[in-house]
C-alpha cells in the first residue's frame, strides 16, 4: 500500500468522529482508497500468498482497468492463469452494482434513511434497494441466531406474551392479515435477554414447546390468562398470571409491562406498507440487532460493518466446504470473473443463510449487550 493510501485509510480508523455522508462520498470517490478501507475492515479479503494452482507463483493484488473493480488478485507466474476477483466470498460478491454504490446502500440502511431518499441518491430501482436492505436484515438474522440461548432459570422472572403484527386498523387497499408473534423477556437481569418468534397460531401445542425450548426450567413465568399457558406449572415452571380484563398490576405486584412496551417498540420499527409476512422475522432480527449493537453506538455504519464481518468471510480449514474452495475462477475475460449481471448470484449466496433461518425462526438476544472491541477483534481474527 502506498503511503498516501495508508494515510487515507488511517484517517478513517483514527478519527474520533463517526463517518458522515460527506466523508463517505469522499471515501467512495477513489476506488483504491475505498477498497483499502474495506480490506482494513475485513469486508474485502486478502488473497496474497502462494498460488494454489501453479505453486511456483505468488498471488498479488494488481491494478487492472479491465478487471470489474479496477483491481484483481493475480498469480506472479506469467505462465499461470490464476485470477481472483477482489469481491470473492464477500458481501459484495454476486452483484452487478459497484462496490461504492453497495457501501452507500449499507450506509443508508445503517442510518435508516427513508426509502425515497435512498432511491433519489442511488438512482436505483426500488426492487434493487429492497433486495439489499433484505441482505442487511439477513446479516442481522444470522448474527442473532448465532447468539441465541435459553433465558431465565431458577430465581429469574420471564414475561411472555403474544401479539398480532401487521393487521390494518382500517382495512383499505391490499388486505394484510398480520402474523402472531410470541415472545419472552427476562426481567431485571444485568443484561436483560429475550426471544421473539412468528407462530402459526396461539395454541398450547404451538406455544408450550417454544417455552420449553427458550425458557429454562425453574423460571418464574409471568403471563396474561391465555388458556394455552395453563399447563406451565406441570412443565416445571412457577407460573403467575395477570388478568388484564381486571387489572394491569396484581396485588402481588405482578405485571407484564416490560413485554407490552417492547411490542409497541417492535410495532413502530416495522415498515408501514408492503411488508411480506415472510420477512417479519428478519424485521424482528433487525430490531434486536439495532437495539443491541447500533442504536447506542458511536458509528452505526461501522458497527453494522462489524456484523457483516461476522457473516461473510473466506472459508477456513474448519469449514466443511474448505476442501472445495477456492475454486479457481474461469481464466477468461476479466468481466466473466464476476458472476452474471443482476442479483441471482447474490440471491444464491444469501439463500444458504435463509435456509439456516428456516430451521429456527426464533430470535433471541441480550438487550443492551455491548461487545468489547477486544472480543470483536478475537472474533474477527478467526476469519483471517
- Would you tell me which residues interact with Zn ion (CB under 5 A)? 51, 53-54, 57, 75, 77, 80, 82
Q: Which lies closer to Zn ion via its Cβ, residue 57 or residue 363?
A: 57
Cβ proximity of 233 and 239 under 8 Å: yes
Cis peptide upstream of residue 366 (ω within 30 degrees of 0): no
Widest distance between CA atoms in the chain: 83
Distance CA 87, CA 71 (A): 10
b/e per residue, 6-18, with b = 16+ CB within 10 A? eebbeebeeeeee
Q: Which is nearer to Zn ion, 57 or 152 (CB)?
A: 57
Q: How many residues does the chain have?
A: 384
Task: Compare residues 34 and 59 and give the one whose CB is closer to Zn ion.
Answer: 59
| DSSP result, 157-215 | EEEEEEEEES--SS--SS----EEEEEEEEES-SS-EEEEEEES---HHHHHHHHHHHE
Rounded Cα distance, 87 and 69, in Å: 8
Shortest distance (Å) from residue 75 CB to Zn ion: 3
| Contact assessment for residue 189 and residue 365, using Cβ atoms and an 8 Å cutoff | no
Q: Tell me how far, at minimum, the Cβ of 3 lies from Zn ion, in Å.
A: 29
User: Residue 55 and residue 33: Cα distance in Å, rounded?
Assistant: 30
For 314, other C-beta atoms within 10 Å of its C-beta total 16
Buried b (16+ CB within 10 A) or exposed e, 271-288: eeeeeeeebbbbbbbbbb
Q: What is the C-alpha separation between 332 and 261, in angstroms, rounded?
A: 57
Q: Min. distance of Cβ 73 from Zn ion in angstroms?
A: 11
Which residue's CB is nearer to Zn ion, number 57 or number 329? 57
Nearer to Zn ion by Cβ, of 75 and 308: the residue is 75
Closest distance of CB 45 from Zn ion, Å: 18
Output 58 or 352, the one with its CB closest to Zn ion: 58
Query: Of 75 and 160, which CB lies nearer to Zn ion in the complex structure?
Result: 75
> Whose CA is closest to 259, among 294, 215, 208, 203?
215
Q: How far is the CB of 59 from Zn ion (least distance, A)?
A: 7
Sequence-separated (6 or more) residues with CB below 8 Å from residue 15 = none
Least Å distance, CB 74 to Zn ion, is 9
Q: Which is nearer to Zn ion, 57 or 184 (CB)?
A: 57
Residue among 258, 277, 238 nearest 194 (CA): 258
Q: Please report how close the Cβ of residue 78 comes to Zn ion at its closest, in angstroms.
A: 9
Helix H or strand E encompassing 265: helix 257-269
Is 77 or 148 the residue whose CB approaches Zn ion more closely? Answer: 77
Please report how close the Cβ of residue 77 comes to Zn ion at its closest, in angstroms: 5
Rounded to a whole number of angstroms, the minimum distance from the CB of residue 54 to Zn ion is 3
Question: Taking the mean position of all CA atoms in its chain, how far away is CA 300?
Answer: 13
Q: Which residue has the cell 420477512?
A: 279
Which of 82, 287 has the CB closer to Zn ion? Answer: 82
**CB of residue 72 vs Zn ion: minimum separation in angstroms?**
13
Distance (Å, rounded) from C-alpha 204 to C-alpha 206? Answer: 5
The CB-side HSE value for 219 (13 A sphere, CA atoms) comes to 25
Amino acid at each position: 500500500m502506498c503511503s498516501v493510501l495508508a494515510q487515507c485509510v488511517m484517517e478513517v480508523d483514527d478519527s474520533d468522529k463517526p463517518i458522515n455522508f460527506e466523508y463517505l462520498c469522499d471515501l467512495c470517490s477513489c476506488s483504491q482508497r475505498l477498497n483499502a478501507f474495506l480490506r482494513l475492515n475485513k469486508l474485502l479479503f486478502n488473497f496474497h500468498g502462494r498460488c494454489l494452482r501453479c505453486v511456483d507463483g505468488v498471488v498479488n493484488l494488481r491494478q487492472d482497468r479491465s478487471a470489474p473493480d479496477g483491481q484483481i488478485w493475480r498469480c506472479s507466474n506469467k505462465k499461470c492463469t490464476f485470477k481472483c476477483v477482489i469481491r470473492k466470498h464477500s458481501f459484495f460478491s454476486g452483484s452487478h452494482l459497484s462496490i461504492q454504490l453497495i457501501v452507500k446502500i449499507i450506509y443508508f440502511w445503517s442510518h435508516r434513511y427513508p426509502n425515497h431518499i435512498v432511491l433519489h441518491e442511488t438512482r436505483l430501482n426500488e426492487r434493487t434497494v429492497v433486495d439489499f436492505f433484505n441482505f442487511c436484515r439477513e446479516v442481522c438474522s444470522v448474527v442473532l441466531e448465532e447468539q441465541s440461548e435459553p433465558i431465565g432459570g431458577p430465581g429469574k422472572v420471564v414475561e411472555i406474551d403474544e401479539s398480532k403484527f401487521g393487521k390494518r386498523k382500517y382495512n383499505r387497499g391490499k388486505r394484510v392479515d398480520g402474523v402472531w408473534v410470541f415472545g419472552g423477556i427476562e426481567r431485571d437481569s444485568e443484561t436483560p435477554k429475550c426471544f421473539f418468534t412468528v407462530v402459526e397460531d396461539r395454541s398450547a401445542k404451538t406455544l408450550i414447546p417454544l417455552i420449553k425450548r427458550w425458557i429454562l426450567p425453574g423460571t418464574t413465568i409471568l403471563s396474561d390468562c391465555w388458556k394455552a399457558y395453563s399447563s406451565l406449572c406441570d412443565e416445571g415452571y412457577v407460573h403467575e398470571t395477570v388478568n388484564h380484563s381486571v387489572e394491569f398490576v396484581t396485588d402481588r405486584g405482578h405485571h407484564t409491562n416490560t413485554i407490552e412496551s417492547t411490542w409497541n417498540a417492535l410495532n413502530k420499527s416495522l415498515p408501514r406498507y408492503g411488508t411480506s409476512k415472510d420477512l417479519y422475522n428478519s424485521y424482528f432480527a433487525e430490531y434486536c440487532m439495532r437495539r443491541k449493537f447500533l442504536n447506542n453506538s458511536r458509528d452505526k455504519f461501522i458497527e453494522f460493518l462489524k456484523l457483516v464481518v461476522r457473516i461473510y468471510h473466506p472459508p477456513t480449514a474448519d469449514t466443511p466446504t474448505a476442501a472445495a474452495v477456492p475454486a479457481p475462477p474461469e481464466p477468461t475475460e476479466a468481466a466473466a470473473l464476476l458472476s452474471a449481471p443482476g442479483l441471482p448470484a447474490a440471491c444464491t449466496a444469501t439463500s444458504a443463510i435463509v435456509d439456516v433461518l428456516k430451521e429456527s425462526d426464533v430470535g433471541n438476544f441480550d438487550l443492551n449487550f455491548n461487545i468489547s472491541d477486544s472480543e470483536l477483534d478475537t472474533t474477527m481474527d478467526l476469519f483471517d
